[in-house]
Amino acid sequence: MKNRLRVLRAENGWSQAELAQRLGVSRQAVNAIETGKHDPSLTLAFALADTFGQRIEEIFMPKE
Amino acid sequence: MSNELEKKEKKFLIKFMMHIAMFLAVLGLSVVMNETNDLSIYSTGFLAMSPVVPIIFLLRLVINHYRSLDEYIQSVMGESLLWAVGVVGCAAMAYGLLAEMVEVPSFSPAFMLPAIAIISGIAQVIKLKGNDHEE
Protein backbone atom coordinates (compact mmCIF):
# COMPACT_ATOMS: atom_id res chain seq x y z
CA MET A 1 0.00 0.00 0.00
CA LYS A 2 1.25 3.49 -0.88
CA ASN A 3 0.77 6.42 1.47
CA ARG A 4 1.27 10.19 1.73
CA LEU A 5 2.39 10.07 5.32
CA ARG A 6 5.81 11.65 4.79
CA VAL A 7 4.32 14.52 2.80
CA LEU A 8 1.59 15.16 5.37
CA ARG A 9 4.08 14.98 8.21
CA ALA A 10 6.38 17.45 6.46
CA GLU A 11 3.44 19.81 5.81
CA ASN A 12 2.72 19.82 9.54
CA GLY A 13 6.41 20.19 10.39
CA TRP A 14 6.43 17.12 12.62
CA SER A 15 9.30 14.71 13.10
CA GLN A 16 8.62 10.98 13.11
CA ALA A 17 9.02 11.02 16.88
CA GLU A 18 6.44 13.80 17.25
CA LEU A 19 3.92 11.98 15.08
CA ALA A 20 4.61 8.74 16.95
CA GLN A 21 3.92 10.52 20.24
CA ARG A 22 0.62 11.88 18.93
CA LEU A 23 -0.39 8.39 17.80
CA GLY A 24 0.92 6.59 20.90
CA VAL A 25 3.16 4.28 18.88
CA SER A 26 6.93 3.87 18.51
CA ARG A 27 8.95 5.99 16.07
CA GLN A 28 9.96 2.77 14.34
CA ALA A 29 6.28 2.09 13.60
CA VAL A 30 5.88 5.50 11.91
CA ASN A 31 9.08 4.91 9.93
CA ALA A 32 7.93 1.44 8.85
CA ILE A 33 4.55 2.80 7.67
CA GLU A 34 6.19 5.67 5.79
CA THR A 35 8.62 3.37 4.01
CA GLY A 36 5.89 0.86 3.17
CA LYS A 37 7.41 -1.90 5.32
CA HIS A 38 4.29 -2.11 7.42
CA ASP A 39 0.64 -1.64 6.54
CA PRO A 40 -1.17 -0.21 9.57
CA SER A 41 -4.24 -1.79 11.12
CA LEU A 42 -7.60 -0.13 10.56
CA THR A 43 -7.44 1.32 14.09
CA LEU A 44 -4.07 2.96 13.45
CA ALA A 45 -5.14 4.10 9.97
CA PHE A 46 -8.16 5.84 11.52
CA ALA A 47 -5.91 7.40 14.18
CA LEU A 48 -3.60 8.69 11.41
CA ALA A 49 -6.52 10.06 9.41
CA ASP A 50 -7.87 11.77 12.54
CA THR A 51 -4.44 13.26 13.34
CA PHE A 52 -4.08 14.77 9.87
CA GLY A 53 -7.79 15.67 9.57
CA GLN A 54 -8.15 13.66 6.38
CA ARG A 55 -9.98 10.55 5.24
CA ILE A 56 -8.14 7.21 5.18
CA GLU A 57 -8.34 6.97 1.37
CA GLU A 58 -6.71 10.39 1.10
CA ILE A 59 -3.66 9.06 2.98
CA PHE A 60 -3.49 5.45 1.85
CA MET A 61 -3.95 4.15 -1.65
CA PRO A 62 -3.41 0.69 -3.20
CA LYS A 63 -0.24 0.00 -5.17
CA GLU A 64 -0.85 -0.06 -8.90
CA MET B 1 10.08 6.90 20.95
CA SER B 2 7.59 8.90 22.98
CA ASN B 3 8.21 9.69 26.65
CA GLU B 4 5.39 7.42 27.76
CA LEU B 5 6.80 4.53 25.73
CA GLU B 6 10.31 5.23 27.02
CA LYS B 7 9.05 5.15 30.62
CA LYS B 8 7.19 1.91 29.93
CA GLU B 9 10.33 0.44 28.35
CA LYS B 10 12.50 1.48 31.33
CA LYS B 11 10.01 0.03 33.81
CA PHE B 12 9.96 -3.20 31.82
CA LEU B 13 13.77 -3.39 31.74
CA ILE B 14 14.00 -2.88 35.52
CA LYS B 15 11.39 -5.60 36.13
CA PHE B 16 13.18 -7.86 33.62
CA MET B 17 16.51 -7.44 35.41
CA MET B 18 14.84 -8.11 38.76
CA HIS B 19 13.42 -11.37 37.42
CA ILE B 20 16.85 -12.37 36.06
CA ALA B 21 18.41 -11.55 39.46
CA MET B 22 15.71 -13.67 41.13
CA PHE B 23 16.45 -16.52 38.73
CA LEU B 24 20.20 -16.36 39.46
CA ALA B 25 19.55 -16.23 43.21
CA VAL B 26 17.26 -19.28 43.09
CA LEU B 27 19.73 -21.10 40.81
CA GLY B 28 22.63 -20.37 43.16
CA LEU B 29 20.60 -21.39 46.20
CA SER B 30 19.49 -24.66 44.62
CA VAL B 31 23.06 -25.56 43.60
CA VAL B 32 24.48 -24.73 47.05
CA MET B 33 21.71 -26.57 48.90
CA ASN B 34 22.01 -29.63 46.69
CA GLU B 35 25.79 -29.77 47.13
CA THR B 36 25.94 -29.09 50.85
CA ASN B 37 23.01 -31.20 52.04
CA ASP B 38 22.21 -34.84 51.73
CA LEU B 39 18.65 -34.45 50.54
CA SER B 40 16.07 -37.01 49.45
CA ILE B 41 15.57 -37.63 45.74
CA TYR B 42 12.29 -35.63 45.79
CA SER B 43 13.90 -32.63 47.50
CA THR B 44 16.85 -32.77 45.10
CA GLY B 45 14.47 -32.89 42.14
CA PHE B 46 12.40 -30.01 43.49
CA LEU B 47 15.51 -27.90 44.11
CA ALA B 48 16.94 -28.71 40.68
CA MET B 49 13.75 -27.50 38.96
CA SER B 50 13.10 -24.51 41.24
CA PRO B 51 14.93 -21.95 38.98
CA VAL B 52 12.17 -22.52 36.41
CA VAL B 53 9.68 -20.73 38.72
CA PRO B 54 11.19 -17.22 38.27
CA ILE B 55 11.45 -17.96 34.55
CA ILE B 56 7.67 -18.62 34.46
CA PHE B 57 7.12 -15.22 36.09
CA LEU B 58 9.58 -13.71 33.59
CA LEU B 59 7.60 -15.25 30.73
CA ARG B 60 4.41 -13.67 32.12
CA LEU B 61 6.19 -10.31 32.33
CA VAL B 62 7.40 -10.55 28.71
CA ILE B 63 3.94 -11.56 27.44
CA ASN B 64 2.31 -8.63 29.27
CA HIS B 65 4.95 -6.29 27.84
CA TYR B 66 4.35 -7.70 24.34
CA ARG B 67 0.62 -6.95 24.69
CA SER B 68 1.39 -3.33 25.58
CA LEU B 69 3.56 -2.73 22.49
CA ASP B 70 2.35 -1.17 19.25
CA GLU B 71 1.33 -3.33 16.30
CA TYR B 72 4.57 -2.88 14.34
CA ILE B 73 6.87 -3.84 17.22
CA GLN B 74 4.55 -6.76 17.96
CA SER B 75 4.88 -7.99 14.38
CA VAL B 76 8.69 -7.63 14.52
CA MET B 77 8.83 -9.51 17.84
CA GLY B 78 6.53 -12.23 16.50
CA GLU B 79 8.60 -12.76 13.36
CA SER B 80 11.85 -12.72 15.35
CA LEU B 81 10.48 -15.34 17.70
CA LEU B 82 9.47 -17.50 14.73
CA TRP B 83 13.02 -17.26 13.38
CA ALA B 84 14.49 -18.13 16.77
CA VAL B 85 12.19 -21.11 17.36
CA GLY B 86 12.85 -22.28 13.80
CA VAL B 87 16.64 -22.03 14.08
CA VAL B 88 16.82 -23.64 17.54
CA GLY B 89 14.23 -26.28 16.56
CA CYS B 90 16.14 -27.19 13.37
CA ALA B 91 19.44 -27.29 15.28
CA ALA B 92 17.89 -29.53 17.96
CA MET B 93 16.41 -31.80 15.30
CA ALA B 94 19.73 -32.00 13.42
CA TYR B 95 21.50 -32.77 16.70
CA GLY B 96 18.95 -35.46 17.59
CA LEU B 97 19.21 -37.12 14.17
CA LEU B 98 23.01 -36.96 14.27
CA ALA B 99 23.05 -38.45 17.78
CA GLU B 100 21.14 -41.46 16.42
CA MET B 101 23.94 -42.18 13.94
CA VAL B 102 27.19 -41.09 15.55
CA GLU B 103 28.69 -40.26 18.94
CA VAL B 104 28.15 -36.57 19.68
CA PRO B 105 29.00 -34.48 22.74
CA SER B 106 26.12 -34.20 25.20
CA PHE B 107 24.02 -31.03 25.20
CA SER B 108 21.73 -29.83 27.98
CA PRO B 109 18.19 -28.88 26.87
CA ALA B 110 18.34 -26.21 29.62
CA PHE B 111 20.18 -24.01 27.11
CA MET B 112 17.35 -24.06 24.59
CA LEU B 113 15.30 -21.25 26.15
CA PRO B 114 18.31 -18.90 26.50
CA ALA B 115 19.28 -19.76 22.90
CA ILE B 116 15.77 -18.89 21.68
CA ALA B 117 15.85 -15.62 23.65
CA ILE B 118 19.29 -14.62 22.29
CA ILE B 119 18.52 -15.49 18.66
CA SER B 120 15.14 -13.74 18.90
CA GLY B 121 16.86 -10.63 20.29
CA ILE B 122 19.43 -10.63 17.46
CA ALA B 123 16.67 -11.06 14.86
CA GLN B 124 14.76 -8.13 16.40
CA VAL B 125 17.81 -5.88 16.27
CA ILE B 126 18.42 -6.82 12.62
CA LYS B 127 14.76 -6.23 11.70
CA LEU B 128 14.57 -2.87 13.49
CA LYS B 129 17.99 -1.68 12.24
CA GLY B 130 16.53 -0.41 8.98
CA ASN B 131 14.12 1.87 10.86
CA ASP B 132 16.77 3.59 12.95
CA HIS B 133 17.28 6.66 10.81
CA GLU B 134 14.64 9.27 10.15
CA GLU B 135 14.20 10.03 6.45
Q: What digits encode the pLDDT tens for the residues A18-64? A: 999 999 999 999 999 999 999 999 999 999 999 999 999 999 998 87
Residue A25 domain boundaries? 2-61
pLDDT tens readout for residues B98-119: 999 999 999 888 899 999 999 9
Q: Which of A28, A34, A44 sits opposite B73 (nearest CB)?
A: A28
| CA gap B66, B68 in Å, rounded | 5
Residue A32 belongs to domain with CATH number: 1.10.260.40
| CA gap B73, B5 in Å, rounded | 12
Whole-Å CA distances, A43 to A24, A46, B15, B96: 12, 5, 30, 45
Instruction: Name the domain count of chain A.
Output: 1
**Maximum distance among all alpha carbons in chain A?**
31
Q: Enumerate residue ranges in chain B where pLDDT < 50.
A: none
Q: Report CA torsion sign: A22, A27, A30, A31.
A: positive
Question: Rounded to an integer, what is the distance from CA A37 to the centroid of its chain?
Answer: 12
The closest of B79, B117, B134, B10 to A29, measured between CA atoms, is B134
Nearest residue of chain B to residue A27 (CA atoms): B1
The ipTM, to two decimals, is 0.89
Distance from CA of A39 to the nearest CA of B (A): 9
In B, which residues are within 8 Å of A46 by CB distance?
A: none
Sequence-distant (≥ 6) Cβ neighbours of residue A15 within 8 angstroms: A9, B134
Element at A26 (helix H, strand E): none
Q: Which of A16, A24, A40 sits opposite B134 (nearest CB)?
A: A16
Q: In this prediction, what percent of chain A has a pLDDT beyond 90?
A: 94
pLDDT tens readout for residues B9-21: 889 999 999 999 9
